Amino acid sequence: MHLPKHLIVAGICTEIGKTVASAVLAELLGADYWKPVQAGELELTDTHKIQQWTQQEIHCHPEAYRLQHPMSPHAAAALEGIKLHPERFELPSTDNRLLIELAGGLMVPLTHSFLNIDLVQQLGCPVLLVSRHYLGSINHTLLSVALLKQRGIPIVGILFNGPATPSSKEVILEYTQLPCIGELPSLETISKESILEASRHLASQPFFRKVR
């Protein structure tokens, strides 16, 4: 099984653990990392976190936009008098694998007429969908999958992050007919050591044992 060279890390909603998942995947695959839009936390961006959390020297490409306010990019940009231009979102040039982390869920607006899902379609890369079990997560996961399929966007599979709920996982995988990329446990502390351990845990799971 071949994993796509460029992969978009999308979540079923915000605060789902995309950055932790990206760090684990970057550590495991030795991939580059790119977050097209950073909204808020400019003193400790997701790019900084990836660099701090990984043992490997992960090459992180600069964001297309860095916004000060921790809110939807379209609103943060308006507050700061910035206009986000879709044509500025170009894939970084690299010979390496590349992980692309979205800012929020698939329907988060970057402008009033350009959503994350439009960015995904524009970049033309397959999606790895990060899910987490909570009340309502089945609905959010199935809606995200339905949207991606409606747009004809390839989905590599689903990565479950956090405490396991076998009944939810079973119905999601059965309904979507997507592979489970793996399951990541909740990390009590996030550090180079815990991310490395999580990457080893992911590497031992069935999907990655078949990946080349």
Q: 10 Å Cβ neighbour count for 195? A: 24
Q: Which tokens is 149 given?
A: 């399929």
Q: For the purposes of burial, counting CB atoms within 10 Å of the CB of 114, is it exposed (0-12), middle (13-18) or buried (19 or more)?
A: middle
**Residue among 107, 4, 123, 13 at smallest CA distance from 64:** 123
Active site residues: 35
Joined tokens for residue 183: 């399951």
